[in-house]
Copies of this chain bind each other. A is one copy, B any other.
């Protein structure tokens, strides 16, 4: 196969690749960062590049205008080289960092009566050894084990080879006074189960010195880390960061597809998320003046795809029927095996998931929200890039995942965007002149609509009659805001003169259709769960909403479009990131760690794609708010 030269203007060093190489692959080789939110499927159009010289063969030009194509633009993920080429990379859309969860002191309450000695799996002990002598030639490791045994009352200890190599030096450096960190499994099969020696340091350490742990939630969009003093339970820093995998796919499916293409790409995905985690470790540690190597225990939550990609376990089976994970209960691994730059011997404990689309983020969420521990029948939902729902109590738990799509995160919508600066997050529409009033994140000129903005806009358009039950825009209304646009009927939320980029911000009929399908999928999920346990949905005594999306949602509007069930507002509670909170609890308390396991095994997973009830419920929900208005009495009231 002949090799060709590919030169990216962004990078002076040309790369060589054979005929048929994708431009996106060549860019990867050249170290040129291209956004590929759709995972290289040619759907999003964000990896468009301009061919300056030479020839490429484009398999698809979806999302490119005829002018773009005429000007030599191609999608890097859809174009293969056939000779030497020079490529210009236009400035790609950058992710803005306006994460609001980054803060130093949390409002997190330490569990009442937290006692590290009782609850923790890990502890630090000061040890004073009798030095060896001609009369006592016990080997270093046995000498250490003996004293450890007296202190922590375990008979067996595991140690990794790298740490074993250091023990003799540390014992002597500390003149036979050392401090050891020992971890026992959250569950023991017997009293002789070995504990793990995690760390050994010369000299004694004051008992008031903290012992650091990290609770990490790997969200599809955002990675969050809490730095925790394991002795007091206190959260010392909470930091968050975009999951760097975003440039390779917005949603889990795109990422799985990207990672499944080659071993290199799988590794790249693993490294991207690990890099984000390490950035968080560094940031949290800098802020609190903690040495990252002093973090000796980590608990990780996240959806099943995120856990797979983090551990480098192939995730392709998650995407393909019959949708199974590689592993739901991952073994506890050591930080050095994962690339996480904390103490190399720190345990990295990924919490258990239930199914491909109900992962450790949900089991952790059930733990932290206490669904499994209450007599009240609770509906728990985590709507982010996917929508996962749990219905249950201390007696039973059922769960399902709705492929709602990323519409509520602003994707799949012409002017959709994430909830960052410039996003319209709330809209009010005047019932007389149909003029909108918008609230924009950061109080700047708007750039687009985020999820909560879309929900509130759709509810307002529905209540004011701009949009009917079926989601059709009424073009007959006496306002220039409604018009026939490029993509069919649309409503103009902001005129170009008012926007940051000078273009009109609109919501189109297609967008509305997408939003209705998304909300219908979630509502249908509620219905199927309730039906599966034979109770009416209204029997739910409370609705707990986790996930960052939940924080900004307006319940009234969400009920009006039929996304949430029509229940008194005081039954709704927004809990924020329940996944990291659950991770924090499992990090602190071995009984909570065992409880997550118990939750995972207790949860009955209902696969909606195999459930006819789901299709019926989905079809019924493809209206605003629903075919059956009796289910939405408050909305019926508002309409009359």
Contacts and interface: CB of A to CB of B under 8 A. Distances in A.
A96 B142 CA distance: 40
Nearest to A326: B168
A322 B158 CA distance: 26
Contacts of A317: 132, 140, 168, 172
A607 interface: yes
A115 interface: no
Nearest to A166: B314
A138 B323 CA distance: 10
Interface string A317-348: 10001111111111101000110000000000
Contacts of A165: 311-314
A88 interface: no
B322 A133 contact: yes
A156 interface: yes
Contact of A324 (B140, B337, B338): B140
Interface string A510-547: 00000000000000000000000000000000000000
B326 A137 contact: no
Contact of A142 (B322, B329, B338): B329
Interface stretch (A185-193, A227-235, A570-578, A585-593): A185-193
Given A158-B331, A190-B189, A190-B190, A314 B168 contact: yes
B137 A355 contact: yes
Interface in A118-171: 132-143, 156, 158-159, 161, 164-165, 167-169
B192 A161 contact: no
Contacts of A321: 134
B134 A327 contact: no
A337 B334 CA distance: 14
Nearest to A328: B139
Contacts of A161: 311-312, 331, 333, 337-338
A579 interface: no
A117 interface: no
A441 B555 CA distance: 95
Contact of A326 (B136, B167, B316): B167
A168 B164 CA distance: 33
Contacts of A323: 134, 137
Contact of A137 (B189, B314, B327, B607): B607
A633 to B, nearest CB: 36
- How many copies the complex holds: the figure is 2
Interface residues of A, number: 53
Contacts of A610: 134-135
Contacts of A134: 321-323, 607, 609-610
B326 A139 contact: yes
Given A165-B314, A169-B314, A327 B132 contact: no
A301 to B, nearest CB: 17
A356 B325 CA distance: 50
Given A313-B164, A333-B161, A324 B138 contact: yes
A605 interface: yes
B313 A168 contact: yes
Contacts of A159: 331
Nearest to A159: B331
A323 B135 CA distance: 11
A317 B321 CA distance: 59
Contacts of A190: 189-190, 192-193
B192 A325 contact: no
A262 to B, nearest CB: 13
B140 A327 contact: yes
Given A158-B331, A165-B313, 13 more contacts: A132-B322, A139-B325, A139-B326, A140-B324, A142-B328, A159-B331, A161-B333, A161-B337, A161-B338, A164-B326, A164-B327, A168-B317, A169-B314
- Report, nearest first, the 7 A-B pairs whose CB atoms are least far apart: A189-B192, A190-B190, A141-B327, A134-B610, A139-B325, A139-B328, A132-B324
